[in-house]
Structure 1
Amino acid sequence: MSDPSRDIRVGDAERQQALQVLGEHMSAGRIDVEEYGERSARITTAKTRGELMSLFHDLPDPRPTFATPMALFPEPSRAPARRWEGAVIPVVGVAVVIAFFVLVKNPLIFLLIPAVAILWGQWNGRRR
């Protein structure tokens, strides 16, 4: 069974790192200038991690390293909720129901409720 991480596409940063590592191998005398030219040409056209790693199969460390897929998209940190924030939604809900029965004579006033909710959300989100 093949390693699924070998199919992950690489970008310019990964190719650049592979070229740097290949240069270290040339400096150490493990490959000559001609082989460096051949491998570096293949590095610049590599599309996946597997293609890059196949160019280092016969070389010892160092080898190119890749970030794990989860590290590319870290989960945003969650700020602890304040105690009063849990009570805001029920209070706003009750206020909307009361406003509905009180202001039913003029339905255009209900446009204020979503406007206030949107402004509250924007203001509350900006503070975090």
Structure 2
Amino acid sequence: MSAPSSGPDPSRLRIGDTERNSAMDALSEHLGKGRIDLDEFGTRSAQVTQARTVADLQALFTDLPAPHPTLPGPPAPVRAAAIPVTPSAGVPARPDDTRTPAQRGAAVLLAASGIIALVLFFLVKTWLVFLIPALIAVVTSALWGSDWRNRS
């Protein structure tokens, strides 16, 4: 015999505009964090507008970390974060980041070079300082190439 049911299956509960808006807010945050691209955001947004049950919305967030939409019923299980809080030297800041410390440093230098060039422009009053980011990009590209992510 089967055990007596304690009520309706929470995943089959109907949702309303509040839950759909919560799902859209969560998707927007994932888009802003770069976890999904604009095309995937559009696809998932369309699915949110067509969702009718809790299960329909939960299916859209199974591969994404928090935030998830606020839904009726018991909360979805929370996955533990795999990203170290304070990475030590030589350990990637993200598990999927296979760059060496030198490559990560070059990326930071390239990002900062735009600000440095702007400050130097006002100090030395020449537009040539805006070639600094381009020079750093050319040098780092020559050292590691554009396919560094594909190397073992």
TM-score by length of 1: 0.50
Greater relative contact order (Cα 8 A, min sep 6): structure 1 or 2? 1
Indicate the structure with greater helix content: 1
Q: Whose radius of gyration is greater, 1 or 2?
A: 1
